[in-house]
Amino acid sequence: MANSPLIVPGATDKGTTSKSIFISKSKLSSAAPETSTTASNALAPVQDMAEQMNEEEKHKYVKGKKLGEGTYANVYLGHLVTSPSTLVAIKKIKIQAAYTEGLAPDAIRELKHLQELSHPNIISLLSVFSSKDQNLNLVLEYLPLGDLEMLIKDTEGVRYGAADIKAWMGMLGRGVWWCHENFVLHRDIKPNNLLIAADGEVKLADFGLARSFSDPYRIMTSNVITRWYRPPELLFGAKHYSGAVDIWSVGLVFAELIIRTPYIAGDSEVQQISLICQAIGTPSEDVWPGVSKLPEYTVPEPPTPVRGKDHYLATFGTAGHEGVDVLMGMLVLDPRKRITAREILEHSWWSSDPKPTKNEDLPRKGGGGAKIGEDLKRRPGVLEDERGAKVARKLDFGGMN
């Protein structure tokens, strides 16, 4: 190891790795300074540089108590060795016996995109290391205050108003904007993927269904986004789509924050389409040129005209006139005319009254560590049929492109 420019902190500490037999030997070798690792010390194998780097990362963290256990991953509370008060969540991905094709695509997607996206409103991936040789550990920032779904559901315990909603929507909007700015589609935005940090900041999590924007002509699967938040183009089977799919989901999160119940909650795809027609209006060639050419385009008769602003004001009036404008922009049927993340952030809503609540004044609910355990241990990217329902989760990686 003397040859390496890399410092390997903790490599000589207690034998925490499975290779304890080698540890004890390297202890000997590093006890004598300036030991060359060659023939003179032939019994202590030098690690690959990649292995050394891995050890270095691993020894930066201490794994603590288990916060949650799932089929896909276990989540542990952890902290920095050098700073016990800096908490982290360590998501240990289990090796899946059922999946025989190596590292699973959902884990790959989550890693690939979280490694690239660094933004206050996107959960930070602090480090990745392997333990016991082959178990992947994702070190994520610790977000102890639960998620937006908890706040929405707790109608007894948590009261919030228009200024609070505006603050949360601002954080969600910025997170989504940063994804799109970096050509990443999240494809699973919903309240329980929006986690809350100790300081009240909302963070977009679960990138297990995310992918980069496709090249023109490359097809993508339309089987993404949890049904209640899935836009009409995906329900109609579109294979080419854009960031607009995420914006539709953002619109439904906005609506749900206001009325405190999911706005369009169909229990099948057919019903989801029919509810969209009732709530928003029936997609037709008039309002959305080309829609009837989509592979699975079917709408119930008779068609409902696209709802006007009055309709939205009646339900979502507490968001104010401009808030309702933003909401309507997000729920435009034709994805090409839907508001973009950048346009959302540039909207005059933000500068009109009320001002967004400051983070420290936002309502909160003490979720504790158990909640982040629940949120993170879920298999990323698997769509649950019904929120909260304990349904068996389907393993289907084949079509997930």
Partner 1 sequence: MAPSSVSEDERYRTSTQYRLWSFTPASLLELRTTTNRNAANRVREAVWRVREARAAASSGNTSEADGGNSRAVSAVPEGEVDCLSVEEELKLVTHFCRQTLQLGDHLQVPTDVKNWTLEQKLMALQATAVQYIKRFYITNSCMTYDPKTLLKTALFFATKTENHYFRLTKFAEAITATKPEEILASEFLLTQGLRFTFDVRHPFRALEGAVMELQAMANGQIPGGDKLRGMGRRVKEAHGKAREYLKTSALLTDVYFHYTPSQIMMASLLIADRQLISLYLGSKLPPGSANATISAKLMEALDKCAEMLQSLDEQSTADKKELGALAKKLRKCRNPEKIDLVSIQRAKREGDEEVDEKVVKKRKLEREQSAKEGEDLFGPTIKK
Rule CB under 8 A: is residue 40 a binding residue for partner 1? no
The residue within the footprint of partner 1, chosen from 12, 28, 322, 350 (CB under 8 A), is: 350
Site map (CB under 8 A) of partner 1, residues 291-310, x = contact:
--------------------
Report the distance separating Cα 17 and Cα 291, nearest Å: 57
Q: Are 224 and 233 in contact (CB under 8 A)?
A: no
Identify the helix (H) or strand (E) that includes residue 88.
strand 87-93
Report how many residues bind partner 1 under the rule CB under 8 A: 63
How far apart CA 394 and CA 384 sit, in angstroms, is 9
Q: Which is nearer to partner 1, 148 or 184 (CB)?
A: 184
What is the Cα–Cα distance from 176 to 134, expressed in whole angstroms?
33
| Active-site hit among 188, 206, 246, 375 | 188
Vertex 150: Cα angle to 147 and 151 (nearest 5): 95
Handedness of CA 377, 383, 389, 395 (dihedral sign): negative
Taking CB under 8 A as the criterion, the residue among 13, 20, 24, 38 binding partner 1 is 38
68 labelled as ligand-binding?
yes
Dihedral sign for Cα atoms in the order 175, 380, 273, 254: negative
Cis status, amide bond into 191, omega within 30 of 0: no
The answer to whether 54 is a known ligand-binding residue is no
CB 248 within 8 A of CB 305: no
100 binds partner 1 (CB under 8 A): yes
Q: Measured from the CB of residue 118, what is the shortest distance to partner 1 in angstroms? A: 5
Q: What mask, x for binding partner 1 by CB under 8 A, covers residues 162 to 191? A: --------x---x--x---xx---------
Please give the helix or strand (H or E) that residue 131 lies within, else none.
strand 125-131
279 is in an annotated binding site: no
User: Of 128-136, 273-281, 308-316, 325-333, which part binds partner 1 (CB under 8 A)?
Assistant: 128-136
Structure tokens at 208: 């297990």
CB of residue 149 to partner 1, shortest distance in Å: 25
Q: Which amino acid is at 38?
A: T
Contact 144, 88 (CB under 8 A): no
Binding track over 8-27 against partner 1, x by CB under 8 A: ----------x---------
Tokens (6 digits) for 55: 């050890």
Q: Any catalytic annotation for residue 188?
A: yes
Angle between helices 309-316 and 244-259 (to 10 degrees): 50
Return the number of the residue (132 or 337) whose C-beta is nearest partner 1. 132
Residues interacting with partner 1, by CB under 8 A?
3-5, 18, 37-39, 42-43, 45-51, 53-54, 95, 97, 100-103, 105, 108, 111-113, 115-116, 118, 128, 130, 132-136, 170, 174, 177, 181-182, 211-212, 214-220, 342, 345-347, 350-351, 397-398, 400-401
State the catalytic residues: 188
Known binding-site residues for ATP equal 67-75, 91-92
